[in-house]
Amino acid sequence: MENGVTDRLWDKDVQEYIAACRHEKLSDITLGYSAGEDGHSFLTASALYVTLKGRAVPIGYRWADSKSGRTAEVYVGKARTAAPQELEGLFRLALRAGLWRERRHVAFALSAVSDVHLKADGVRSRLHFEHLKALYGYDAVSLALLQSSRVDGIDAPERRARAAQAHELTLQTLNDLAYLYGARSANDSR
């Protein structure tokens, strides 16, 4: 990471993201992108929930297609529901996933994954901007560089390549922070 990006580790938003990754029942927190039809990318968060018996169950926050467009949903294993939900809705999702005895723990873990997603989404745009400044140089970055070629009519492959590189560096930074400050793996959490 560049110095400007490293300095951001002490920002309040980044510290809140790190704190969200430290949930004791979540391991292997991973962030990713799901692409929409319009070219926009949506941030997703996934993790493994470690049951009381030590079994690892996939859990996360993702975007799915629906009749009204892209909608957020939370999932536990194969069971899923629209996000955000009150705790009562998360309890029902845990029941559908077959985790009746742990419904309270699962509901709080789903809430934690949603919190990780929310905090990561808040940090993502700033980190993306920092990576663009590192790639282009401090003075060259402006909002015009962040616009897509469809908006301004300029088809600049170099600009799109640097924006994609900054996009991936941002995702890598978020995943590195989740790895360093979250539970490392389901095997280590037992």
pLDDT of residue 6: 52
pLDDT of residue 189: 44
Instruction: Report how far residue 120's alpha carbon sits from residue 127's, in angstroms, rounded to the nearest whole number.
Output: 10
Task: Write the pLDDT tens digit of every residue in 53-63.
Answer: 888 999 999 99
Instruction: Report how far residue 176's alpha carbon sits from residue 169's, in angstroms, rounded to the nearest whole number.
Output: 10
Domain count, the chain: 1
Task: Write the pLDDT tens digit of every residue in 146-170.
Answer: 544 444 445 567 777 877 888 898 8
Domain that holds residue 120: 3-189
pTM for the predicted model, two decimal places? 0.80
Residues of the chain with pLDDT under 70: 1-10, 36-39, 137-156, 184-190
